[in-house]
Amino acid sequence: MNDSLLLDTHALVWLVEGDQRLGRDGRELAEVALRADTIMVSAISFWELAMLSKHRRLVLAYSMDIWRRTVLQLGIAEVPMAGDIGIIAAELDGLPGDPADRIIMATALLRGCTLLTADERILGWGGTLPRHDARR
C-alpha cells in the first residue's frame, strides 16, 4: 500500500474530531502518514464541509475558516483543484455523478495516494484506485 494517504471528506472530519467511526487501522494509517508528512485532503472537501455546515447538516466546533486552518496546521496538506484532476474525474467510469467524490478519487489517482474512505460506492468501485475502508 502506498504511504501517501488522501482523506475523503468524512474521514477528515472523523480524524480531526476524534470520531470513533474512524477505525483502528484507518487511524493508524493516518497517524503514520501524518508523521511521514504524506497525508492530504482535496480542496473540494473544504467546499463540501462548508456546504454541509451552511445547511446545518454538520456542526463543527469552529467556523469553517478556522477549522480549515487547524487542519492545515496539523500537517494535512491541501491539494488544490486543477485541470488534470477535473479531466480524470470526468473520465472515471462506473460511478454515480457526485462531482466531489469524482474529484477526490481523481486527486488520489493522480497523486498516487491510497484513499481513506467509508463510502461504499467508492470502496466497491471496480477501478484500480488503492482504497482503505476508514471504518476498519
Domain ranges in the chain?
Answer: 5-80+113-119
Within 10 A of 110 (CB to CB), how many other CB atoms are there? 15
Per-residue pLDDT of the chain (136 residues; tens, 9 = 90+): 458 999 999 999 999 999 999 999 999 999 999 999 999 999 999 999 999 999 989 988 889 999 999 999 999 999 999 999 999 999 999 887 789 999 999 999 999 999 999 999 999 999 999 999 999 9
Which residues have C-beta within 8 Å of that of residue 20, sequence separation ≥ 6? none
Do residues 49 and 58 lie in contact, with contact meaning Cβ atoms separated by under 8 Å?
Answer: yes
| Cα distance between residue 53 and residue 48, in whole Å | 9
Do residues 116 and 5 lie in contact, with contact meaning Cβ atoms separated by under 8 Å?
Answer: yes
Q: What global pTM score does this model have?
A: 0.95
Do residues 129 and 21 lie in contact, with contact meaning Cβ atoms separated by under 8 Å?
Answer: no
Beta pairing class for 5-7 and 77-79:
unpaired
| Cα distance between residue 101 and residue 17, in whole Å | 21
pLDDT attached to residue 1: 47
Which residues have C-beta within 8 Å of that of residue 45, sequence separation ≥ 6? 7, 8, 9, 12, 100, 104
